[in-house]
Amino acid sequence: MQPRKRRRKPIIDFVLIAVLASLTAAVVLFVLADTEKNTATEKKEKANHISTESSAFEGISITTDASNNPNIPYALHYPKTEDDAFNKEVRNYVSTAKKAYLKELETLAQSEDDDVIPSLTIDLETVPFKDHYFSFLLTNTTYTGGIDEKAMIKTYFYDNMHKKRVTLAEVLGNDSSYLEKLAAYVQNDLLTNEEWQASLITDNVMRATAPKWENFERFAFRDDTLVFYFDDYELTASATTTPTVEVPLNFINPILAEGYQVDNTSAKNILSPPVRELDPNGKYVALTFDDGPEPGSTEKILDVLDKYDAKATFFLLGNRVQYYPEIVQEELKRGHEIGNHSWSHPVLTNLGIAQVQQEVNRTEEAIRNAIGQGATVFRPPYGAVNDTVRAQIPTPVILWSIDTLDWKHRNASQLLPMVKKSMHNHAVILMHDIHQSTADGLDSVLAYLSSEGYEFITVSEMEKLTANY
């Protein structure tokens, strides 16, 4: 027997080494493949079942991770694409939710309540958009024996052509001013929607709709709308009224980056100046700036107006608009009203009808070239107007009630005293944005008027307000 044993020993060694080598290889493979590793450990511990099946959409599969243990029920569904980074992000989200659920179970196991059967489901909805985009909606519903189930939503927007996730920032061309407009729309929609108005917690709405990119990452392109989602109890005290906000795509078309736009933009869209509710008994003033645009001073005035959340009206000269269209675009973008102030600043009452028409129409064309829409009001240079001139003008003609004489004194410290001297409710104040002294003196005027309780509106808003008397 002894010799046989000795003879076989090298063979046994060889077999042992081979077995060890394959085991090592298997371990290395498990470590390398994330999913496989999770599957292996979870299978051992909790008898679950993970399967991945192809979907109706090319390149998109659905993974299901379901528990077979009646004491630990869960069923998780999530997408798998051809982008590894995307898949990893999704898997991280799902496994974090699962870990939190299992941890919650441990806590419950130590409590005395045996009647509770906690559960976790993650449902998946896949919504295609255009040819190659998909919105994935993962609804995480955890029941751990509380009063209610709580549903939380996670969404992913995926470009199946370029094999990558797309964020809302990318959808809006990374323009934070567009985010502000969208955030204001969503906030207003929530606060004014009758369906859930009563159950909203205003502070929560304000926090959840503050213009930060991370506040708006739960979205889906669905039919002709961009939909924003919120968790149960995020905005309301009850889960039966969890709101969603649907923003029509044709309304936000101008702020969507190329590739996400639709064929038509509605006439009234997200870049149109907002229509505000004015209080008939409120204090209002309309600031007007003539003879611009002027680089430097006009830009400074725009910043001062922003500081006080003031909307004003700019009466533009056509022969300047043609040189500085980007300043006019900025005036519009920041919510101010655009007026026509003729092409070359003549005394219109001294001109023939054809000349008046030319002054008005050339300017109108320059404004259209700059901002894609015409002026909504007209102011004649020097206030010189008669019935013949009026008949040539397609928009309301607006004069003023307080002249700051800023063109004459050219002194920043003179601006406020001139306003104070004649201030009255519903005043229309005349200033000129071509003067640096006006730009420099404006802050003190706005600070004073704000402290007196005035709100700053456009001349069209003022016309509408005073027409009601």
Minimum distance from residue 354 beta carbon to Zn ion (Å): 22
Gyration radius of the chain's alpha carbons = 33
Look at the alpha carbons of 332, 335, 341, 344 in this order and tell me if their dihedral is positive or negative: negative
Comparing CB distances to Zn ion, the nearer of 335 and 381 is: 381
Calculate the CA 92 to chain-centre distance.
Answer: 26
Determine the interface stretch with Zn ion among 203-211, 353-361, 381-389, 440-448 (rule: CB under 5 A): 381-389
Query: What's the min distance (Å) between Cβ of 345 and Zn ion?
Result: 6
The count of other CB atoms within 10 Å of the CB of residue 416 is: 19
Nearest CB to Zn ion, comparing residues 293 and 381:
381
Site string for Zn ion, 156-185 (x = CB under 5 A): ------------------------------
What phi, psi does 428 have (nearest 5°)?
A: -115, 115
Query: 79 vs 381, which CB is nearer to Zn ion?
Result: 381
CA angle 185, 235, 196 (to 5 degrees): 75
Yes or no: say if 367 and 316 are a contact pair by the CB < 8 Å rule. Answer: yes
Catalytic pick among 336, 341, 432, 435: 432
Q: What span, in angstroms and rounded, lies between the C-alpha atoms of 248 and 226?
A: 6
Q: Are strands 164-165 and 402-403 parallel, antiparallel or unpaired?
A: unpaired
Q: How far apart are CA 165 and CA 136, in angstroms?
A: 11
- Considering the complex, state which of residue 81 and residue 288 has its C-beta at the smaller distance from Zn ion: 288
**Smallest gap from residue 85 Cβ to Zn ion (A):** 58
Residue pair 139/153 in contact (Cβ under 8 Å)? The answer is: yes
Question: Would residue 409 show up in a list of annotated catalytic residues for this protein?
Answer: no
Q: How many Cβ atoms are within 10 Å of 303's Cβ, its own excluded? A: 12
**Residues 341-380 as x/- pattern, contact with Zn ion by CB under 5 A:** ----------------------------------------
Residue number closest to Zn ion, CB atom? 290
Do the beta carbons of residue 360 and residue 342 sit within 8 Å?
yes
Angle (CA) 167-330-384 rounded to 5° is: 155
How far apart (Å, rounded) are the C-alpha atoms in residues 84 and 63? 14
Size of site (CB under 5 A) for Zn ion: 3
Candidate residues 79, 293, 381, 441; the one interacting with Zn ion per rule CB under 5 A: 381
Burial grade of 79 (CB within 10 A; 0-12, 13-18, 19 or more): buried
Least distance in angstroms from the C-beta of 130 to Zn ion: 49
Residue 381 beta carbon to Zn ion: minimum distance, rounded to whole angstroms: 5
Task: Name the minimum Å distance from CB 442 to Zn ion.
Answer: 17
Exposed/middle/buried for 230, CB within 10 Å: 0-12, 13-18, 19+?
Answer: buried
Q: φ, ψ for residue 46 (rounded to 5)?
A: -130, 10
d(CA 342, CA 400): 17
Q: Between 265 and 395, whose beta carbon lies closer to Zn ion? A: 395
Work out how close the CB of 337 gets to Zn ion at its nearest, in angstroms, rounded to a whole number: 16
Contacts of 336 (CB under 8 A, 6+ apart): 273, 302, 305, 311, 312, 313, 314, 458
In contact, 274 and 460? CB cutoff 8 Å: no
CB 356 within 8 A of CB 364: no
Task: Tell whether residue 455 is a contact of Zn ion (CB under 5 A).
Answer: no
Closer CB to Zn ion, residue 183 or residue 321?
Answer: 321
Contacts to Zn ion from residues 273-292, by CB under 5 A? 290-291
Q: Which two tokens stand for residue 340?
A: 């026509």
Is 159 or 291 the residue whose CB approaches Zn ion more closely? 291
Q: How far is the CB of 355 from Zn ion (least distance, A)?
A: 17
- Which of 83, 159, 232, 290 is catalytic? The answer is 290
- Considering the complex, state which of residue 78 and residue 378 has its C-beta at the smaller distance from Zn ion: 378
Cβ proximity to Zn ion: between 135 and 404 the closer is: 404
> Is residue 440 annotated as a catalytic residue, yes or no?
no
CB of 409 to Zn ion, least distance (A): 16
Question: 124, 69, 54, 56: which is closest to 101 by C-alpha?
Answer: 69
Cα distances from 205 to residues 34, 178, 465, in angstroms, run 39, 19, 30
Which residues are marked as active site? 290, 432
Instruction: Name the site residues for Zn ion (rule: CB under 5 A).
Output: 290-291, 381
